[in-house]
A and B are shown apart, each in its own frame.
Chain A
């Protein structure tokens, strides 16, 4: 007999992801404006942007192939799939068994692969440049991400995300230096993967510095809306993933509606705080020069590896 209540949880979680992701991006933007003394557009501006883009006409380049048209849908679809795998409000998810953390990193790689292909598909100089940069950065960020995730998995003896979260949430309280290292490395990779300030500026459209924006420069209309929405969900997912792994207290373990409501409230509060931390990091740091990124991501890899080593040495 299939347990339907867990499917309802799953659907609820996807709904939260789709609807709350733009609000989270809006919160980050609003708070950033507040911090920097600028006028803000409000938390709901990303919704208005998405609606505006959906109502606009799609303009395709003459030589755009199927890859270019197909990419927005695959980016959006895979992002939603990832959202179904990671535990947001409850760890009782039927989809969670389909992929462990390694597969999760691979799913992110699929998104990146198709975005990079689409960037090169039109044949503009910017697209190719953006793709090249994105792949360079990804090749350095992925090992660091995997190492950070492995460090956490070592503690839980499993690569299954829900199992890791369960162990972290209900295990005995132990001071673990390896987790601190893994958290630092994860934050650095988080900033890289979601294109935040030390690596890429999400607000820039300046040719010389943009990475992610360069690849999607040729998109318009509903295609752009889907990609932007997926980008917001990616930011939401990465933040929620960090919260789920490193600070899972309060997440619901069962389908009990009250526990899930509590999980939702906890997630809301933790994301609000997470957004503040993100903005503080972004305001405090300057953008790293592109050729210094190897050092930045090298440090992330170093931290993750140190985390793993200190697990063996010290724990």
Chain B
């Protein structure tokens, strides 16, 4: 009975990923966000490794390792170094009312459950039930990008969305082909570098990383 137990552990991991997605949504401090993001990456990597073990699809181990290096260690570190360099002191940011955001988040989870339930009935993979969680993670990342105004927070939201997509790929089809995954991982790294350059420009132009300031960027008439 190894299969059901592994599926159960995978469900727990899915639940934890969903929990961290909500944690990202309601966390005010940027350092806390980085920690939560790293945890989400860690759960994702464990879940991928479990799916790889259960199904015998061995390239999933490599993608699990990639997730571990990029999303748990490298990307949080790059963002942390950026924060240090840009001297983001004001850690607590203002945002839309938190309980309201949580309720919208719950509605999104229900919506994605509703959306994926036909697919779940068609599929016969061990991981089919986690597809709803994956979609919900994508949507919660999107919600985070919409409700937050700080540039670093929006990037974390974007990366969380990517986590969700990766999880969806694992749970719907046992992972993408190796080439695609390597490409995505490389893209993420490049994206992080480009984000860094953008952060520098935003902060030197506006003296703040609040993207609401960008509304000033229009021609005088």
A positions within 8 Å CB-CB of B? 174-178, 180-181, 294-295, 298-299, 301-303, 305-306, 309-310, 312-315
Taking CB atoms, residues of chain A closer than 8 Å to B47 are none
Cα distance, A260 to B26, chains bound together (Å): 45
Given contact pairs A302-B106, A306-B19, A314-B133, A177 touches B98 in the complex (Cβ within 8 A): no
Q: Are B15 and A298 in contact (CB under 8 A)?
A: no
Q: List 12 A-B contacts (CB under 8 A).
A: A175-B5, A175-B9, A177-B15, A298-B98, A299-B26, A303-B19, A305-B106, A309-B109, A310-B15, A310-B133, A313-B132, A314-B15
CA distance A302 to B9 in the complex (A): 22
Q: Which residues of A contact B15 (CB under 8 A)?
A: 177-178, 180-181, 306, 310, 314
Chain B interfacial residues counted at CB < 8 A: 24
Which 7 pairs across A and B sit closest by C-beta, in order of nearness?
A177-B15, A298-B99, A175-B8, A314-B11, A313-B132, A302-B102, A177-B12
CB distance from A255 to the nearest CB of B (A): 36
B34 within 8 A of A: no
Q: Report yes or no: B8 in contact with A313, Cβ–Cβ below 8 A.
A: no
What is the chain B residue whose CB lies nearest that of A302?
B102
Q: Does B110 contact A (CB under 8 A)?
A: yes
CA–CA, A175 and B4, complex, Å: 10
Q: B160 an interface residue at 8 Å Cβ cutoff?
A: no
Knowing A174-B8, A175-B11, A309-B113, say if A295 contacts B133 (CB, 8 Å): no
Q: How far is the CB of A313 from chain B (nearest CB, A)?
A: 5
For A306, the chain B residues whose CB sits under 8 A away are: 15, 18-19, 22, 106, 109
Assembled-state Cα–Cα distance A62/B99 (Å): 43
Q: Which residues of A contact B110 (CB under 8 A)?
A: 309
Question: What 1/0 flags go to B36-50 for Cβ under 8 Å of A?
Answer: 000000000000000
Query: Would you call B64 an interface residue if the criterion is a C-beta within 8 Å of the partner chain's C-beta atoms?
Result: no
Given contacts A295-B99, A299-B26, A302-B102, contact A177 B109 (CB under 8 A): no
**Chain B residues with a Cβ under 8 A of chain A:** 5, 8-9, 11-12, 14-16, 18-19, 22, 26, 98-99, 102, 105-106, 109-110, 113, 129-130, 132-133
Q: Which residues of A sit under 8 angstroms from B98, Cβ to Cβ?
A: 295, 298
Q: With A175-B8, A306-B19 given, is the CB distance from A312 to B113 under 8 Å? A: yes
State in angstroms the CA–CA spacing of A201 and B133 once bound together.
38
Total A-B Cβ pairs within 8 A: 62
What residues on A are CB-neighbors of B12 within 8 Å?
A: 175, 177, 180
- Interface SS of B by simple majority: helix
CA distance A314 to B13 in the complex (A): 11
B9 and A298 within 8 A (CB): no
Q: CA of A294 to CA of B129 in the docked complex: distance in angstroms?
A: 32
Quick one: closest A residue to B19, CB to CB? A306
Chain A residues in 8 Å Cβ range of B19 = 181, 303, 306
Taking CB as reference atom, which chain B residue is nearest A312? B113
Which single residue of chain B is at the shortest CB-CB distance from A307? B15
Q: Which residues of B contact A312 (CB under 8 A)?
A: 113
Q: A306-B18, A313-B132, A314-B133 are in contact. Are A298 and B11 (CB under 8 A)?
A: no
CB of A294, distance to nearest CB on chain B (Å): 5
- B27 CB to nearest A CB, Å: 11
Which of B8, B9, B18 meets A310, CB within 8 Å?
Answer: B18
Does A314 contact B99, Cβ atoms closer than 8 Å? no
Bound-complex Cα distance A52 to B3 (A): 61
Q: Which residues of B have CB within 8 Å of A180? A: 12, 15
A314 engages B26 (CB within 8 Å): no
Q: Once bound together, how far apart are the Cα atoms of A298 and B8, in whole Å?
A: 28
A306-B22, A310-B11, A310-B133 given; name 4 further pairs at CB < 8 Å: A295-B99, A301-B102, A309-B113, A310-B15
Bound Cα distance A303, B113 (Å): 17
Contacts of B8 in A (CB 8 A): 174-176
Decide yes or no: A295 and B113 within 8 Å by CB, A177-B14, A305-B106, A313-B132 being known contacts: no
Q: Is the CB of A315 within 8 A of B102?
A: no
Interchain CA distance A303-B106 in the complex, whole Å? 10
